[in-house]
Structure 1
Amino acid sequence: MPGSRRTTAVALAATASIALLATACTGSNDAGAKDDPNARTTLTFWHGWSAPSEVEAIAANIEAFEAKHPNIKVKVVKGITDDKLNQALRAGGSNAPDVVSSFTTDNVGRFCSTNALADLKPFLDKAKIDPAKTFLPQMAKYTEHEGKRCTVPLLGDAYGLYYNKKAFAEAGITAPPKTLSEFDEVAKKLTKAKGDTYEQLGFMPNFQGYETTFEHYAAQFGIQYLDGEGKSSLASDPHTKELLTWQKGLVEKLGGYQKLEKYRTGLGDEWGPKHPLHTGQVAMQLDGEWRGKMAKDAKLPFEIGAAPFPVPDDQAADYGKGYLSGTILGIAGTSEKQNAAWELVKYLSTDTDAVVSFANAIHNVPSTLAALKSPKLNNDPVYRTFVDIAQHPKSAHAPSSVNGGAFLLTAQDFGVAYEAGREKDLDAGLKKTDAQVDKDNEQAG
Structure 2
Amino acid sequence: MPRAARLTTTAAALAAISVLATACTGQSGAAATDDPKADVTIAFWHGWSAPSEVKAIQDSIDRFEKAHPNIKVKATGNMTDDKINQALRAGGDKAPDVVSSFATDSVGKFCNSGAFADLNPFMEKSGIDGPKVFPATLLEYTRYKGNQCTLPLLHDAYGLVYNKTAFAAAGITEAPVTWSEFAEAAQKLTKPKGDSYEQLGVMPTFHGYETTPMRLAAQWSPTYFTADGKSNLAGDPAFAKMLTAQKDLVAKLGGYEKLERFRAGFGDEWSAEHPFHKGLVAMQVDGEWRPAMAKEAGVPFEIGTAPLPVPDDQRADYGKGYLSGTVMGISSASRKQNAAWELVRYMTTDTEAVVAFANAIHNIPSTLAALRSPQLQVTPESKTFLDIARHAKSNTTPARADGGAYQLTFQDFAYAVEKGDVPDLAAGLARTDRQIDTDIAKAE
Partners of 2:265 and 2:425 in 1: CA distance:
30
Deviation at 1:235, TM superposition (A): 1.0
Partners of 1:164 and 1:203 in 2: CA distance:
11
SS in 2 for 1:278: coil
Alignment partner, residue 98 of structure 1: 97
| TM-score, normalising length: structure 2 | 0.97
Partners of 2:249 and 2:206 in 1: CA distance:
12
Q: Which region of structure 1 is more displaced relative to structure 2, 297-306 or 160-169?
A: 297-306
User: Aligned partner of 1:204: which letter?
Assistant: M
Partners of 1:131 and 1:225 in 2: CA distance:
23
Q: Does 1:14 align with 2:5?
A: no
Partners of 1:39 and 1:132 in 2: CA distance:
31
Partners of 1:273 and 1:34 in 2: CA distance:
50
Partners of 2:259 and 2:240 in 1: CA distance:
22
Q: Which region of structure 1 is more displaced relative to structure 2, 14-23 or 418-427?
A: 14-23
Alignment partner, residue 299 of structure 1: 298
Partners of 1:85 and 1:435 in 2: CA distance:
32
SS in 2 for 1:279: coil
User: Aligned partner of 1:2: which letter?
Assistant: P
Q: RMSD between aligned alpha carbons?
A: 1.3
Partners of 1:294 and 1:168 in 2: CA distance:
20
Alignment partner, residue 41 of structure 1: 40
Number of aligned pairs?
443
Q: What are the equivalent positions in structure 2 for 1:16-31 lying under 5 Å apart?
A: 16-20=15-19, 21-22=21-22, 24-28=24-28
Deviation at 1:146, TM superposition (A): 1.3
Alignment partner, residue 129 of structure 2: 130
Structure 2, unmatched stretches of 5+, are none
SS in 1 for 2:276: helix
- Contact kept in structure 1, 2:31 and 2:335, CA below 8 Å: no
1:23-45 deviations in Å (ceiling 9; x for gaps)? 6414326x831111111111111
- Contact kept in structure 1, 2:137 and 2:395, CA below 8 Å: yes
Alignment partner, residue 393 of structure 1: 392
User: Aligned partner of 2:6: which letter?
Assistant: R
Deviation at 1:7, TM superposition (A): 5.5
Q: What are the equivalent positions in structure 2 for 1:28-427 lying under 5 Å apart?
A: 28=28, 32-427=31-426
SS in 2 for 1:200: strand
Partners of 1:45 and 1:263 in 2: CA distance:
43
SS in 2 for 1:148: coil
User: Aligned partner of 2:279: which letter?
Assistant: G
Structure 1, unmatched stretches of 5+, are none
Q: Does 1:444 align with 2:430?
A: no
Q: Which region of structure 1 is more displaced relative to structure 2, 137-146 or 305-314?
A: 137-146
SS in 2 for 1:408: helix
User: Aligned partner of 1:3: which letter?
Assistant: R
Deviation at 1:294, TM superposition (A): 1.1
Deviation at 1:88, TM superposition (A): 2.5
SS in 2 for 1:4: helix
Partners of 1:3 and 1:348 in 2: CA distance:
18
SS in 2 for 1:428: helix
- Contact kept in structure 1, 2:7 and 2:13, CA below 8 Å: no
Deviation at 1:68, TM superposition (A): 1.0
Alignment partner, residue 5 of structure 2: 5
SS in 1 for 2:201: coil
Partners of 2:218 and 2:33 in 1: CA distance:
42
User: Aligned partner of 2:65: which letter?
Assistant: E
Deviation at 1:236, TM superposition (A): 1.5
1:219-278 deviations in Å (ceiling 9; x for gaps)? 111111111111111011111110110000000000000011011111011000111111
Partners of 1:5 and 1:426 in 2: CA distance:
28
